[in-house]
Structure 1
Amino acid sequence: MLNLGPVTSNATNLLIPGEYNGGLHNAPTIQWVIFLSGVAHITLPNSTDEAWIVGGKNGAILALDTAEVSALGHSTTYPTEESTVVLEVALKEIPGHRVLHGGACGEEELL
């Protein structure tokens, strides 16, 4: 069983249409973002770093780039025609984890 950390009483289920551009934004709060279906392409401003998240088994990311710690945040696009189903789970505090390296996780490092 995966411990998500101390969650709040708030979780949000989103249905994002295909070919949607979420633009540049910050995470609204520290949160798990769990992509249940679809594809998300996440990029960082002023960087070539990118992550392609395919919904399903390895579709969980920890979003920590709130406005308090990141001036620009990240950009998210949904490049396929398929809708993307997302579950956002707000956290009370950053859960225990370790940073493996700078940049996006490789396929073998995904949850």
Structure 2
Amino acid sequence: HVIACENAIGATDTLAEHIKDPRNTSPERLEDHHLRARYANSAIDRIVPAQDPDAGLDVTLEKFFEWVVDRTPFEDVGIPDIEGINWVDNLGPFIERKLFTVNTGHATAAY
């Protein structure tokens, strides 16, 4: 199961295109790839506040988060049991809400 947790719309689709490209993955691996891999887009909302530059990989996160993932790629194999995911049939409303609330709020504060 592949879920790209990036702040980009359709990030998993983009990653899947690169993986499925025969220039990146051997034809032998791609032969039954559709049987082994499922790709689901997601919308994530988790803020990482300012960090101590000397903290290294010890990252502090806010406690609140939302992780919404498209369930449709898993319908034929079963939805995985992954803690914290809100599985939905349509990511559109969640992405729009995030863009219009969280990202707009951050941009407004920055300017």
Fold shared per TM-score above 0.5: no
Greater relative contact order: 1 or 2 (C-alpha under 8 angstroms, separation 6 or more)? 1
TM-score of Structure 1 vs Structure 2, range by shorter chain: under 0.3
Normalised TM-score (structure 1): 0.20
Normalised TM-score (structure 2): 0.20
| Structure in which a larger fraction of residues adopt helix | 2
| Structure in which a larger fraction of residues adopt strand | 1
